Amino acid sequence: MNMNIDSPHSGSIEVAPDRVIEFPHGLAGFEHFRRFSLFHPETEDDAPPRYFILQSLDDEAIAFNIADPALFGFSYEIDLRDDESAALDLADPAEAAVVVILVKDATGELRANLKAPLVINLRARRGIQHVFARLNYQVTLKEPE
């Protein structure tokens, strides 16, 4: 049975059960929110979206803009711990997608959180947030002039 979400950011959204992504441990600072759905805003001329929206199904007010780290010229090689692979139900690395959360800072600049990417098993629809202990990169996305 489909679920309806009234997101203050995106309006009314209908989510089918097969579109739910479970984060068994939640996200940093949002550990109690474990069910999300992924969608993208409409684009002009059927252009591919530059970012997606990860909408909480546990609290309609919680949503994150996420993007492919390649948009920032960044790629990851992540060695998952056994418990992370188990949480993802990941048997084949090709089933995993890695995305970063986008954050707008106080100056209005859009930044990618490269220190804590999300790893999502697209087949099992399970995700984790992999937090690096040491990663000293900060990337800012400038709006085209």
This prediction has a pTM of 0.84
- How many domains does one find in the chain? 1
Check if the beta carbon of residue 112 is closer than 8 Å to that of residue 74.
Answer: yes
CATH number at residue 31: 2.30.290.10
pLDDT tens-place string over residues 4-42: 888 777 778 888 888 899 999 999 999 999 999 998 877
Torsion of CA 44, 49, 54, 59, to 10 degrees: -10
Check if the beta carbon of residue 51 is closer than 8 Å to that of residue 67.
Answer: yes
Report residues of the chain scoring pLDDT below 50: none
The DSSP result for 40-94, as a single string, is: ----GGGPPPS-EEEEESS-TT-EEEEE-GGGGT--------HHHHHHHT-S-GG
Give me the domain span that covers residue 31.
3-141
d(CA 90, CA 7): 30
What tokens were used for 127?
A: 């995700």
